[in-house]
Structure 1
Amino acid sequence: MRGLLWVSVLLMGLWSVYWFIGRTAVDRAAVGFFAMAPAQGLEAEHKGLSVAGFPNRFDLTVTEPSLADRQTGFGWQAPFVQIFSLSYKPWHVIAAFASEQMVLTPYENLSITSEKLQASVVVEPNANLTLDRTTLIGAGLGIASSLGWDFKAENLRFATRQDPSRENVHQIGLDLLALTPDQSLSRLLPEMPALIEKVHLDAFLGFSAPIDRLAGQSRPELQLLEIKEASLGWGDLAVFAKGDLPIADGSPEGRVDLRIEGWRRLLPLIEQSGAVKAEVLPTVERMLETLAAQSGDAEVLEVPLIFAGGQMRLGPLLLGPAPRF
């Protein structure tokens, strides 16, 4: 018994030494990230770092983190973020976000609120810590833009994983449930239900370089968007999409095939977007009726969304400049 006691004490002592070594490594890694950020084109600040969680976890808390990418103009700020990892599995981390945070973009700032927002990130246990998979779940999510629009969602589920058959390609999945659209959209479509039931996306993203600890230097660019399945359900309006979009220098080229059930609901949005003038809308409606007749159901429109030459077309209808990625 005395021997077992000494063995237990020895193991506990060794584990304690391991934890404190690991704690020091986590603290140095966090300090090093903020110190090296300017060399990677980032502005990174905080007002405090602490590591706890003995004996089984490393719990890093960053107070008032602020990140900004000087090249793209994107940034993020929050009152705090907590990053947890098991002491015996440090390549798998879980992040818990504050109930309020801010995403900064060159075009607008987004205020994000949530009742719960947590992420899980798993990297490969190699020198470059290459991203393997991620998960993001949220509840009571709200996004308000500095441009005046906002929306809410009761639940958010987002996940990514490496595609083992292709280099630098990740599969992504997104589900947004029970969305409350912006009031301006609701006013345009007053007969629609108050909630959008579901938005779903299953797609693949291809990048120019691995997403790893060197991403700040290699700057992975999006080169491919493959939409395996995308859908939106809102009352009697249902939209389905699939297609491939190769991307060069941020400009997509290709087509996405759309199936729109209850397509007439979108006519006010087409007019409001400025793609067509009010006096031309009846002509556009008749043109779309002709296209819908080819599907065998006058209320179902099957039409390609075409990206070419920096422009975007819905069948023969020019919508305007294509978005850049």
Structure 2
Amino acid sequence: MRRVIWLVVLVALVWSGWWVMATLGAVRGIEGWLAARQSEGWQAETSAIAFEGYPLDIRITLKDPLLADPDTGVALETSALRLGAPVWDPGQITLVLPNDPILLASPETRTRFLTQEGRANLFVDTGAALALEQMEASADVWLLDGEAGDLLSGGTSRAAVVHDPEMPATYHFNLDVDGLRPGEIPRSALFIPQEWPVTFDRLSVQSTVRFDRIWDITALEVSRPQPRQISIPQAEAIWGDLQLRFAANLDVDVAGAATGSVNVQARNWRAMLAIAETAGILPSGLRPQIEQALSTLASLAGNPETLDVTLTLRDGFVSLGFIPLGPAPRFRLR
């Protein structure tokens, strides 16, 4: 019996020592990373680093973290960030967001992100680069607002990112948002009628993106990986009478210009044209000919209220057949 007791005590001491070394090692790693960023000219600060979780977990809280990259002008500031991992598997990281605002800044704008029960589970390679293998993020309620007012909000939201081990730097993305609600800023900018529904009925996206390199710690330290191929087999948005489905296959060059096609299926498409014209996205002079062409296409498909067309992206512009629609978006991550 005495031997059993001594064995239990010995195991407890060894386990405790391992937990202390692993936890202090993680804290020193964070402190070293912050110091390295400061030496590169970043503003990288935290008022304190606390740890807990004994005996099974390593849980570290960064209090009042502030990160600002002078090269990109991107900054983040909040009251606390909590990181956790099982002591036996440091590559399985849980990030818990605070319930008070997260301030985000870029050269273009300043925004505030507020969420309830926001968290992300990350599975990373335990090598020095911490390459992302999988991420699952969720939030019960969230809000994004800018300096001029509300931008977006939503209810229960789920996002997943999975690295494809058979394809270089390729990731599969899934997004589902319940109760997506455009704020007053986008509603005013697009001249959305007041009687239009407040929230989307559904928003879901499935996509696969190949980047120019994998997502790892250098994505935060140096620069963001840039998309080179984008495939969207299925995306759907339903908002009142508007129902939009689309699929895309795009190649993206080093400047962010895309070449490829986007298939769009739209119900009640005339209302979309009216919104685009009112918002100034669609020049008024082009609307009659575009509406006539789309009406003909919809009628050929059998339902004049449902549109099924393919848009072409080439040389920095979007076109519908021979009809130019305007500049194409650039796909660049700051």
TM-score, with structure 1 as normaliser: 0.92
Partner SS state of residue 188, structure 1: coil
Match of 2:252 in 1: 247
Question: Which deviates more from structure 2 when the two are superposed, residues 156-165 or residues 7-16?
Answer: 156-165
1:132 equivalent to 2:133? Answer yes
Partner SS state of residue 118, structure 2: strand
Distance 2:55 2:212 in 1: 40
Distance 1:138 1:225 in 2: 26
Q: 1:185 aligns with which of 184, 187, 190?
A: 187
Match of 1:324 in 2: 331
Match of 1:97 in 2: 97
Match of 1:45 in 2: 45
Distance 1:311 1:234 in 2: 27
1:313 equivalent to 2:315? Answer no
Match of 2:198 in 1: 194
Partner SS state of residue 136, structure 2: strand
Deviations 1:41-90 (A, max 9, x none): 74322211111111111111011112223332222211111011111111
Distance 2:178 2:31 in 1: 38
1:167 equivalent to 2:153? Answer no
Distance 1:213 1:240 in 2: 35
Q: 1:217 to 1:73 in 2, by over 3 A?
A: closer
Match of 2:229 in 1: 224
How many residue pairs align between the two structures?
Answer: 325
**Pairwise CA distance, 1:321:** 4.4
Q: 1:245 to 1:273 in 2, by over 3 A?
A: farther
Distance 1:179 1:98 in 2: 21
**Pairwise CA distance, 1:280:** 4.8
Q: 5+ residue gaps in structure 2?
A: none
Distance 1:73 1:279 in 2: 39
Partner SS state of residue 167, structure 2: coil
Question: Which deviates more from structure 2 when the two are superposed, residues 86-95 or residues 303-312?
Answer: 303-312
Partner SS state of residue 103, structure 2: strand
Distance 1:241 1:28 in 2: 47
Distance 1:161 1:277 in 2: 40
Question: Which deviates more from structure 2 when the two are superposed, residues 41-50 or residues 274-283?
Answer: 274-283
Q: 1:295 aligns with which of 301, 313, 332?
A: 301
Partner SS state of residue 178, structure 1: coil
Q: 5+ residue gaps in structure 1?
A: none
Distance 1:293 1:42 in 2: 58
Asked if structure 1 preserves the Cα contact closer than 8 Å seen for 2:246 and 2:265, the reply is: yes
The amino acid that maps onto 2:197 is P
Match of 2:291 in 1: 285
Distance 2:147 2:310 in 1: 33
Q: 1:161 to 1:39 in 2, by over 3 A?
A: farther
Question: Which deviates more from structure 2 when the two are superposed, residues 116-125 or residues 4-13?
Answer: 116-125
The structure with the largest strand share of the pair is 1
Match of 1:84 in 2: 84
Partner SS state of residue 178, structure 2: strand
Asked if structure 2 preserves the Cα contact closer than 8 Å seen for 1:189 and 1:265, the reply is: no
**Pairwise CA distance, 1:209:** 1.5
Distance 2:202 2:285 in 1: 33
Asked if structure 1 preserves the Cα contact closer than 8 Å seen for 2:117 and 2:140, the reply is: yes
Asked if structure 1 preserves the Cα contact closer than 8 Å seen for 2:227 and 2:331, the reply is: no
**Pairwise CA distance, 1:141:** 0.8
Match of 1:268 in 2: 274
Partner SS state of residue 203, structure 2: strand
Aligned CA RMSD, in angstroms, stands at 2.1
**Pairwise CA distance, 1:170:** 0.6
Partner SS state of residue 55, structure 2: coil
Distance 2:279 2:326 in 1: 8
**Pairwise CA distance, 1:254:** 1.4
Partner SS state of residue 196, structure 1: coil
Distance 2:261 2:72 in 1: 27
Match of 2:242 in 1: 237
Q: 1:294 to 1:39 in 2, by over 3 A?
A: farther
Deviations 1:83-103 (A, max 9, x none): 111111111010111121122
The amino acid that maps onto 2:187 is L
